[in-house]
Chains A and B, each alone.
Chain A
Amino acid sequence: MSSNKILLTSSDGESFEIDEAVARKFLIIVHMMEDNCAGEAIPLENVTGDILSKIIEYAKMHVNEPSEEDEDEEAKKNLDSWDAKFMEKLDLETIFKIILAANYLNFEGLLGFASQTVADYIKDKTPEEVREIFNIENDFTPEEEEEIRKENAWTFNE
């Protein structure tokens, strides 16, 4: 694989030089390159610098994605634990921004992983806890709330 460097520029003017192999994890860039609209620097209007740097960090670790058949358990475990640490440090707002950016960049691996992280915050929690975690208010009318409670009564009182 050629060690071509690609320059990415964030919406707020930060520049990142990365290997082509890493840039190819972002399908939006692959499409740009195929359509020959990738010039020297690729502007990414929908991603700010701080988020882009996190995404690039993740992409670099995952550039050699092991295939399903790979027997290297050790390497998989190490990668998983790196992934977990990567997400642990991030607050919810950042994770949301990463989801939006990964969606825009069409970076499926990170999009799935970040979405799963948010899903894990929702799993096995009561509605009160979920509201607390995501800073959400109950905006149902009393009638709506009564109806919804009744419909979902089977999930409570476990």
Chain B
Amino acid sequence: MLPTENPTSSPLSDSPKFHQSNLDSIISSLVTFLDSPSFSISSSFDRVLDNLLSSCDVSVQDQLVDRTLERLSLLLQSTKRCSQKLATLHNSISWFLPSELTVMVFLMVDTKSLMQASTCCTMFNKCAMDPLCYSHIDLTKAFKLADDRVLHTLLNRSGKQLRSLKLGRVDAPGSLFRSSCLPPLIHYRNSASRSLKLDRDAPSPGYFFTRSCLDPLKLTGNLLTSLHIYFLGFMNMDSLLDSLSACSNLTDLKIVGVNVLLEPILELLARKCCLIEHLFLDNCNQGMITYPTIKLFVTNCLKITSLTLLDFRLNDAMAQILVTGFRILKYINLSNTAGITGSFLRDLGHRSNDSPLQTLILRDCFSLQEREVVEFLNSLIAGNVRSIRYIDVSSNNGLACDGDRRTSKPNFTLEKLKEERLDITFVADFPSIRPSY
């Protein structure tokens, strides 16, 4: 039973007989006291406090109120803490995997789902911070709200474990319109210099990542093997090149819809990232490529097995080097290359066993000539280029013929091809040429 003390007398705790255990039992009584119909706890509180307050001086009343509030606040916090401990214990029983195995599960979960799961409980949050969970960061599914800060946080968490990184919008609206997807680089530079207020580091309008968003890769990129970036708008060239040059183990690079000149990237790959195996660059009509760069690229990047260069201004000589210069190239896609006539196919066609090439894609190459393709098909029928399995020369504008004519019904001997080379799939879709008005 609680002693009714006069609050102005010396506190109970000063008495030599008052031990910690007395305090403990007071608290214990308060908490364990069962509700009962004959006692109402709430009216008991009211009654006791009223009595105490009315029987003491005004000067002591505030003290009493403050002390009561403080004590009960401490009790509230303590209750919450204990309740959390119980919840944590409950969780460790429901999810009884040790943290190494939990991390193993987590590294199979995509970045966005992992971040959502990390808000479930303290255990998940702790395991989700393990660097191993960040070896494959994919921000393409959260493009609406992911920004530099998010990217930097995730990159920092990955420590030395970063192996692959994907960011941007994979299916941006611009991707449907080939050469008009982004304004030309020159244009923007002029308007940028006119506007004094333009923050050169701000994200391009409509994008959340800044031009130097890949900077952290300079520190964490050296074991990175795969990098895909989609439609990030304008990027700071130096920053991008610096970041890429730290990624010496890069084997898979894909850049689509980014407003940078891509020739320096090819050069950088040739000098710093010679282990590259899969390269996909969608140029969006951003500038020239020179012969020396192509030669350097082919000479140094010996491991290329798959090459996609869309919308570049290549000519036949360059195409020839690309198609025949890599020793283990299996897949090549040079669609949307307006400058090639197909004469480079002659060299390819004359090689019987050399080339390991399996897939050749030349979609929408405006200058591709019907007769070059016909000649190439003939050399296939004769048994050359044994390894090839898939060829696509489809185009929305048909193929070029002699003079200025174009044809959407080229003279291909497809039956003969099927006969002699059943292993080849040859795709040649030419929707009828729309009359120009």
Interface residues of A (CB under 8 A from B): 96, 99-100, 103, 111, 115-116, 118-119, 122-127, 130-131, 134-141, 144-145, 148-149, 151-158
Contact = CB atoms under 8 A, between A and B. Distances in A.
B122 A136 contact: no
Contact of A96 (B96, B114, B142): B96
A124 B138 CA distance: 13
Contact of A122 (B87, B117, B119, B144): B117
Nearest to B147: A154
26 contacts: A96-B96, A100-B97, A111-B104, A119-B105, A119-B106, A123-B113, A125-B116, A127-B116, A127-B117, A131-B120, A136-B94, A136-B121, A136-B124, A137-B90, A139-B87, A139-B121, A139-B122, A140-B84, A145-B119, A148-B118, A148-B125, A154-B142, A155-B115, A155-B116, A157-B145, A158-B144
Nearest to B83: A139
Nearest to B80: A141
Contacts of A139: 84-85, 87-88, 91, 121-122
B120 A127 contact: yes
B150 A154 contact: yes
Interface in B364-411: none
A111 B90 CA distance: 25
A100 B99 CA distance: 12
B101 interface: yes
A35 to B, nearest CB: 24
Contacts of A100: 96-97, 101
B95 interface: yes
A103 B150 CA distance: 34
- Going nearest first, the 5 A-B pairs with the smallest beta carbon separation are A139-B87, A119-B108, A154-B145, A137-B87, A135-B94
Nearest to A123: B113
Most buried by A among B88, B90, B104, B114: B104
Interface of B: 80, 84-85, 87-88, 90-91, 94-97, 101, 104-106, 108-110, 112-122, 124-125, 142, 144-147, 150, 153
Interface of A is mostly: helix
A136 B120 contact: yes
Contacts of A96: 95-97
B142 A155 contact: yes
B87 A115 contact: no
A99 B122 CA distance: 22
Nearest to B208: A154
Contacts of B112: 155, 158
Given A134-B95, A154-B147, 6 more contacts: A119-B105, A122-B109, A125-B116, A136-B120, A153-B145, A155-B112
Contacts of B116: 125-127, 130, 152, 155-156
A109 to B, nearest CB: 14
A90 to B, nearest CB: 15
B104 A134 contact: no
Contact of B105 (A115, A153, A157, A158): A115
A15 to B, nearest CB: 26
Contacts of A125: 113, 116-117
A152 B121 contact: no
Most-contacted residue by chain A among B105, B106, B119, B147 (CB, 10 A):
B119
Contact of B91 (A111, A123, A136, A156): A136
A116 B144 CA distance: 27
Highest count of chain B CB atoms <10 Å: which of A116, A125, A136, A156: A136
A96 B109 CA distance: 16
Contacts of A99: 97, 101, 105
Given A103-B101, A153-B145, A154-B147, A138 B120 contact: yes
B87 A138 contact: yes
A140 B105 CA distance: 22
Contacts of A126: 116
Given A137-B87, A154-B142, A123 B110 contact: yes
A139 B85 CA distance: 7
B266 to A, nearest CB: 32
Given A96-B95, A127-B117, A137-B91, A115 B142 contact: no
Given A115-B108, A122-B109, A158-B144, A137 B121 contact: yes
Nearest to A118: B105
B332 to A, nearest CB: 23
Contacts of B119: 127, 145, 148-149, 152
Nearest to A126: B116
Contact of A136 (B84, B95, B97, B104): B95
A154 B154 CA distance: 12
A76 to B, nearest CB: 20
A96 B95 CA distance: 8
Nearest to B112: A155
Contacts of B91: 136-137, 139
B122 A140 contact: yes
B89 to A, nearest CB: 9
